Amino acid sequence: MSVLLSPSYTSPETVSCTANETQGFAHCLEAVSRYAEAMSKAKKLLHTRYRVDDLERTVRFYRDVLGLEEVRRHQSPRGAELVFLKTPGSEELIELCCFPASGPVRVQPDLTHLAFEVDSLEEFGRHLARLGMNYSDGPHLGADGGGIAFIDAPEGYEIELIQAGRSRSNG
């Protein structure tokens, strides 16, 4: 007896089970069970969605202030306008969604935030100043040279900027 399983369209691996009369079906059922358990777990984070009122203003913020790149945009089947952005050095995307039918966006304090690594909070602060902006909190630097600071994105979403300390950047 031989059983061949194809996981899904996203994964080319297959699970093969060959059982003889001594092993019987139990051997194959065990292989199928291990396979099913592995396939029932998330593999990686693909994107995070943030709903916004003014899509173009928000895209400009992420592009001009943070340096993100727009990788695609389209309309969802229910009519939401979607824009996907990517940070250099990361695979995960940020999905910005404008869906006016849901009403205005109301972001509560400390509801959620995105965190981005920067080489230098001091240099990033100069970049903000050139754009007529300031940190909303910080920077707060530690003894190891690392630190954090925050800026506010459109709609009130908080953006954390992290400068790695010497021990973290040296391995």
* Of residues 78, 21, 9, 82, the one with CA closest to residue 47: 82
Residues 146, 161 contacting (CB under 8 angstroms):
no
Largest CA distance in the chain: 76
Q: Are strands 147-152 and 137-141 parallel, antiparallel or unpaired?
A: antiparallel
> Residue 69 catalytic?
no
| Region of 128 on the Ramachandran plot (φ > 0 left; ψ -120 to 50 alpha; else beta) | alpha
Q: Which of 81, 95, 117, 160 is catalytic?
A: 160
CB of 52 within 8 A of CB of 31?
no
> 93: which 2 tokens?
């995307």
Q: How many CB atoms lie within 10 A of CB 98?
A: 20
- Residues that are catalytic: 160
